[in-house]
Amino acid sequence: MTFEHNTLDQVTTWVKAGHVSDFPEDGGSSILYKDQQIAVFNFTTINKWFATQNLCPHKKQMILARGIIGTQGEEQTPKVACPYHKKTFSLETGENLNGCEDSITTFPIKIEDDTVFVGLVEEK
Amino acid sequence: MARIVIVGNGMVSYKLCEKLVEKNSSASITVIGEEPRPAYDRVHLSAYFEDENADKLTMAPKDWYNGNGINLITSEKVSQINREEQYVTTHTNAKYEYDYLVLATGSSAFVPPIKGVEKKGVFVYRTIEDLEMMMAYGKKASSAAVLGGGLLGLEAAKAAIDMNLKTSVVEFAPRLMPRQIDEEGGLLLKNKMEDLGIDILLGKATSNIEGEEEMTGMAFSDGTSLDVDMLIISAGIRPRDELGKEAGLEVAERGGFVVNSLMQTSDEKIFAVGECASYENMIYGLVAPGYDMAEVVAEQIANDNKEYTFTGCDMSTKLKLIGVDVASFGDPFCDNIPHYPISINDKKNGIYKRINVDLEGKKLLGGILIGDADDYNMLHQMFINEMALPPHPQDLIIKSSGEEGGAGMGVDALPDTAQVCSCENVSKGDICCSIKDDGVTDINGIKAATKAGTGCGGCLPMVNNILEDTLASMGTVVRKEICEHFPYTRQEMFDLIKVNEIKSYTELLEKYGSGGGCETCKPLVGSLLASIWNDLILKESTIQDTNDRFLANIQKGGSYSVVPRIPGGEITPDKLIVIGEVAKEFDLYTKITGGQRIDLFGARLNDLPLIWERLVDAGFESGHAYGKSLRTVKSCVGSTWCRFGLHDSVGFAIEVENRYKGLRSPHKLKGGVSGCIRECAEARGKDFGIIATEKGWNLYVGGNGGANPKHAVLLAGDIDKETVIKYLDRYLMFYIKTAEPLQRTAPWQEKLEGGIDYLKQVICEDSLGIGEQLENDMKILIAHYTCEWKAAINDPEMRKRFTHFSNDDSHDPTQKFKRERGQRFPVAW
Ligand SMILES: Cc1cc2nc3c(=O)[nH]c(=O)nc-3n(C[C@H](O)[C@H](O)[C@H](O)COP(=O)(O)OP(=O)(O)OC[C@H]3O[C@@H](n4cnc5c(N)ncnc54)[C@H](O)[C@@H]3O)c2cc1C
Ligand code: SF4
Ligand code: SF4
């Protein structure tokens, strides 16, 4: 799997992920779109939402949505820690923050009328 | 610009490159290595068995060489040296000219000329490829033998046993590790290896390896034989000096390029370093001397410095074999040197220590440590630095109970010149400087600033002691702050939460923290909140580790295991049937645990509430196997059935387990109750153990199994049940309040100043006057107990969380299982 940091202008499809209340405060849950698993995080403390791939690149497990989220460093980089071995990834860039794992793909996300949408790049 | 060609890309070759880069050498460097990948950490080769991850072992990736202007050529073997015209040629006939040539060709495993060694199933243990072949072959084998009972052989044996093979070690000498340890030590080590399930055959000369194409066994010269499917040869090393012979370089009698103290071979344009170099007729089969040699060459190439020379190296070793501590330093035997040996041979606990002291009783000459090598670093330092011995040298190896570290001296006694990390040659002074002058305050900082502990890592405990000692001497209080979000220790957090009646993580972060929290502080606060208020852990589920968040233990493949509580290990047939039915319906793998209960593996997230609904209906409660909390209280059958039993151990175990079930603590807690001194419940291997006596019960505390087994020590003897409970209430609460995060009772107890005697005063004599308070705190926790699973399945909001997808009811479609021995397993990752 190659990772990408998908940006807003690349988005071709906005996928409806669910109602805001489907995602626990300061936590995550995954959604299924076609055969893709996407982790959606509701980072209440800093009032932001994030979406990334659900697969942890370390042991190739569909698990990141169940990880603990937090911030790191003076820049307060938002991150998620994989429940298995505590590999942490930036929720903004997808970069692995504590090792040399591959980066993870991140997706743009938006909230409209309490509905969560994840922006995907689909080949036409 | 000088052209340097380095032959071989092993650990020492890499270290030389690193040093040349560090010293800003202007030379143009070409490295030619025969292995397919850049240099990797051979010392930790066995780690490859665990995860088959070669990247982790890599010293530096190819990019590093490129980025530093080093031309690295892999999979290419140098086949000839032309000294006259100063070039080398490789097996593909490529030609590389040099001004200086460095031979870093290492060594290969020595394969003795035994009939049949060419058969399939015979391996050596040196490269990643060797391991890969061994692992592939090991899958169809059921037994393995290791030829050679030295340092490496024992490591190979451990690897074989980890591959689930029936393992034997065959040694020619009459004892194990004959070069490092003496007879008594060898005997103890043999017992310890046998405890690990490894057979030890001593005094055996192998005469033939039997079998047709594939080996099937070994025959020995004494007429005996051994049926075995594969053989790992670990009978010593042979320096790879073949290039020198042809080129007319001087080669030592026992192999290796002869070098002087500048690492020059008989041709001054050609250096040799590492395991292929013979200095004063000695091959150093360790990595640290090789690194030292690399420094000598780097100084000459980069700084034209001929003052820095190699003067030989200390061969002290600490075996990194998991499960048994073995170390030797200096001259372990002192066969021809006048000395006094001082030794203890504690057969009960499997500890043998010997030190050799000079006749005046002033200096250490060497020693051996088996079963407990905690003092190795300190003793080794005392030896190297020729430090004066304490008035009673025996104190160095005899620990009085409760005291930490027997070596009778603290790190402050070490001179600044003491070499603490031998891999990277870092002295105590270097480390202190980085702390005092550069403001380093933690281990990672020291690693970055000095490189200490980045090699084998054996020196880290000592580095840590120096760090704490130096910080303390600077008046800096060594505080173990939790993480960047909370500038407090665990105990301070405990008080903050309690005194200010904080009930949620968010509230605490707002009032006392900063930033957005992290995976360290969130679960820690979760555990503290539970320890103080015993509130439902699910209320703020996203601060919990996944196990606590989903009230089950996550396993490979993203499934969970389910462990219902079976207090004291007593269960009715009806309840057993329910477990069986549930396991069958949800296709769960079942296994009996060491704590006398039944573990059900492979539950999918979406099924967890359904499974628990059935279990709760049948009267089961959560077993808290997922939490840092009380697990089980194991019991023997006791006086109700056993003819030796003095009291009802099962009944008491059930009572105690039910009392503390759900109790959240810094780490998991286990207990045991035995009906008599025979101790069938192995209660002394638990955090608390209760053993029946003629007059009542003995209460032991602070034991554990696991990697570092510890026996619990007696807190109070011949006390009645009520007193047992009272003391336990106090003990557990005191532990919960004052321990570090993830610290089990044994290390906590050891770190307490005053040790067990102090603990006896606080718990039994109430010297701090907090006994009643501790008991009350415990009462509150007990009163607040609710079964977390019962609460979860009855609350629709909580139930909602047990789905893999929030927009779809299906299970995770990527989960894969296989079937073996009639049960369902996850596929390996
Ligand atoms: C399983 C195991 C455990 C060990 N544990 C410890 C330990 O705990 N502590 C410790 O100090 N030491 C330990 N050692 C020893 C340590 O690994 C060696 O001392 C160290 O690797 C020596 O480094 P080197 O660079 O001299 O040789 P090597 O690491 O062997 O490197 C030599 C390289 O040169 C290559 N080469 C040889 N000839 C040619 C040629 N003609 N052309 C091109 N390339 C060539 C080889 O293929 C090899 O890659 C252990 C070794 C093993 C195998
Ligand atoms: S990193 Fe190194 S040998 Fe190694 S001394 Fe320090 S710990 Fe050893
Ligand atoms: S510990 Fe004593 S009472 Fe318990 S089973 Fe063993 S022998 Fe019997």
pLDDT of B30 > 50? The answer is yes
pLDDT over 50 at A2, yes or no? no
- pLDDT for B767 equals 84
Mean pLDDT value of segment B162-172: 92
Residues 6+ apart with CB under 8 A from B825: B589, B602, B817, B818, B819
Q: Summarize the confidence of residues B793-817 as an average pLDDT.
A: 86
pLDDT band per the 50, 70, 90 thresholds, residue B797: confident
Q: What does the pLDDT look like over B654-680, one tens digit per residue?
A: 999 999 999 989 999 999 999 999 999
Higher pLDDT, B388 or A33: A33
Q: What is the CATH number of domain B628-783?
A: 3.30.413.10
Q: Which of B10, B799, B542, B473 is nearest to A40 (CA)?
A: B542
pLDDT per residue as tens digits for the range A89-119: 999 999 998 877 889 999 999 999 999 999 9
User: In the predicted model, what is the mean pLDDT of residues A66-70?
Assistant: 94
Residues A79-95, mean pLDDT to the nearest whole number: 92
Mutate to test the interface with A, among B542, B545, B605 (most CBs of A within 10 A): B542
Per the domain annotation, does A65 fall within a domain? yes
For residue B676, the CA-to-ligand 3 centroid distance in Å is: 5
Fold of B410-474: Arc Repressor Mutant, subunit A (1.10.10)
Q: What is the mean pLDDT of residues B798-819?
A: 86
B148 vs B414, higher pLDDT: B148
Q: How far is B588 from chain A (nearest CA, A)?
A: 20
Per CATH, B111-235 and B628-783 having the same topology is answered: no
DSSP state of B390: P
Rounded to an integer, the average pLDDT of A2-23 is: 81
Which among A1, A32, A90 is the top mutation candidate for probing chain B, defined by the most B β-carbons within 10 Å of its own β-carbon? A32
Indicate whether B583 pLDDT > 70: yes
Q: For the segment B86-128, what is each residue's pLDDT rounded down to a tens digit?
A: 999 999 999 999 999 999 999 999 999 999 999 999 999 999 9
Contact (Cβ atoms closer than 8 angstroms) between residue B12 and residue B106 = yes
Residue numbers of the domain that contains A74: 23-107
Q: What is the pLDDT of residue B456?
A: 67
B338 touches chain A (CB under 8 A): no
Sort residue B729 into left (φ over 0), alpha (ψ -120 to 50) or beta.
Answer: alpha
**Residue A47 forms part of a structural domain:** yes
Lowest mean pLDDT among A1-10, A58-67, B148-157, B687-696: A1-10
pLDDT more than 70, % of chain B: 97
Tell me if residue A107 falls in helix, strand or coil: strand
CATH number of the CATH domain containing A62:
2.102.10.10
Least confident of B388-402, B414-428, B758-772: B388-402
Say yes or no to pLDDT of B545 above 60.
yes
* A89 three-state secondary structure: strand
Tell which residue, B366, B300, B316, B313, has the closest CA to residue B337: B366
Q: How far apart are CA B557 and CA B601, in angstroms?
A: 11
Distance CA B635, CA B239 (A): 57
Nearest Cα to Cα of residue B656 among B632, B620, B686: B632
Q: Which residues pair with B761 in a beta bridge?
A: none
d(CA B789, CA B562): 11
Q: Which is more confident, B265 or B384?
A: B265
Closest chain B C-alpha to A114 CA, distance in angstroms: 15
Strand pairing of B225-227 and B340-346? unpaired
Asked if residue B599 lies in contact with residue B583, where contact means CB atoms within 8 angstroms, the answer is no
Give domain status of residue A90, yes or no: yes
Tell me how far apart the alpha carbons of residues B525 and B741 are, in angstroms, rounded to a whole number: 10
Question: Regarding the domain delimited by B111-235, which CATH topology (the fold level of the hierarchy) does it fall under?
Answer: FAD/NAD(P)-binding domain (3.50.50)
- Residue B408 pLDDT more than 50? no
Check A73 against B484: CB less than 8 A apart: yes
B214-253 per-position pLDDT tens digit: 999 999 999 999 999 999 999 999 999 999 988 999 999 9
Q: Edge-to-edge strand order for the sheet containing A27-33?
A: A27-33, A36-43, A48-53, A106-107
**Which among B448, B395, B452, B392 has a CA at the least distance from the CA of B422?**
B452
Neighbours of B376 (CB within 10 A): 23
What integer pLDDT is reported at residue A1 of this predicted model?
38
Element (H, E) at B431: helix B428-436
Question: Which residue, B277, B274, B312, B288, is CA-closest to B451?
Answer: B288
Q: Where are the domains of chain B?
A: 3-107+239-303, 111-235, 410-474, 476-544, 628-783
pTM greater than 0.80 (yes/no): no
Decide if B20 contacts B44 (C-beta within 8 A). Answer: no
* ipTM rounded to 2 decimals: 0.87
- Per DSSP, A25 falls in state T
* Count of Cβ atoms closer than 10 Å to residue B590 Cβ: 16
Instruction: Check pocket membership of B582 for ligand 1, CB cut-off 6 A.
Output: no
Please report the residues numbered 60 through 119 in chain A whose beta carbons come closer than 8 angstroms to any beta carbon of chain B.
Answer: 60-63, 66-73, 76, 78-79, 81, 83-84, 86, 88, 100
Task: Name the more confident of B476 and B154.
Answer: B154
Counting Cβ atoms within 10 Å, is residue B67 exposed (0-12), middle (13-18) or buried (19+)?
exposed
**Bridge-based pairing state of the strands B713-719 and B696-701:** antiparallel
The CA distance from B521 to B481, in Å, is 10
Question: How far is Cα B630 from Cα B663, in angstroms, rounded to an integer?
Answer: 6
3-state secondary structure B598-650: EEEEEECHHHHHHHHHHHHHCCCCECCCCCCEEEEEEECCHHHCCCCCCCCHH
Nearest chain B Cα distance for residue A45, angstroms = 6
Judged by CB atoms within 8 Å, which residues 498-557 of B form the interface with A?
A: 506, 509, 515-519, 521-523, 541-546, 549-550, 554, 556-557
| Residues B589-597, mean pLDDT to the nearest whole number | 93
Instruction: Report how far residue B496's alpha carbon sits from residue B283's, in angstroms, rounded to the nearest whole number.
Output: 60
Give pLDDT, residue B77.
Answer: 96
With a CB cutoff of 8 Å and minimum separation 6, the contacts of B195 are none
- pLDDT average, residue stretch B737-754: 86
A121 touches chain B (CB under 8 A): no
d(CA A17, CA A36): 12
Confidence class of residue B410 from pLDDT cuts 50, 70 and 90? low
Strand partners, B317: B328
| Helices B490-499/B505-512 angle, 10° precision | 100
Say if the Cβ atoms of A70 and B509 lie within 8 Å. no
Q: Which of B565, B605, B558, B572 shows the shortest CA–CA distance to B586? A: B605
Is A63 within a domain? yes
Asked if pLDDT for residue B405 goes beyond 50, the answer is no
Phi, psi of B239 (to 5 degrees): -60, 145
* Chain B touched by A8 (CB under 8 Å): no
Strands A115-120 and B688-693: unpaired
The yes-or-no verdict on residue A3 having pLDDT over 70 is: no
Q: What is the separation, in whole angstroms, between the first and last Cα of chain B?
A: 49
Q: What is the mean pLDDT of residues B266-270?
A: 95
The pLDDT score that the predictor gives to residue A4 is 65
**Of the candidates A41, A123, A58, A42, the residue with the CA atom closest to the CA atom of residue A96:** A58
Q: Is A29 on the interface with B (CB under 8 A)?
A: yes
Which residue of chain A is at minimal alpha-carbon distance from B605? A66
pLDDT score, position B718: 94
Comparing B68-82, B724-738, B799-813, the range with the smallest average pLDDT is B799-813
Q: What homologous superfamily is domain B3-107+239-303 in, according to CATH? A: FAD/NAD(P)-binding domain (3.50.50.60)
Question: Of B34, B64, B40, nearest to B128 (Cα)?
Answer: B40
pLDDT at B404: 40
Is it the case that residue B479 has pLDDT exceeding 70? no
Has residue B391 got a pLDDT over 80?
no
Res. B402: pLDDT tops 50: no
Residue with tokens 């704590």, as numbered in its chain: B595
Q: What's the total number of domains in chain A? A: 1
Please state, in angstroms and as integers, the Cα–Cα distance from residue B368 to each residue in B191, B345, B355, B659, following that order.
16, 11, 7, 47
Q: What is the mean pLDDT of chain B?
A: 89
pLDDT digits (tens, 9 = 90+) for B283-342: 988 888 999 999 999 999 999 999 999 988 777 777 766 568 888 888 888 888 888 888
Work out the average pLDDT over B474-499. 80
Structure tokens at B316: 């002290």
Q: What is the pLDDT of residue B403?
A: 39
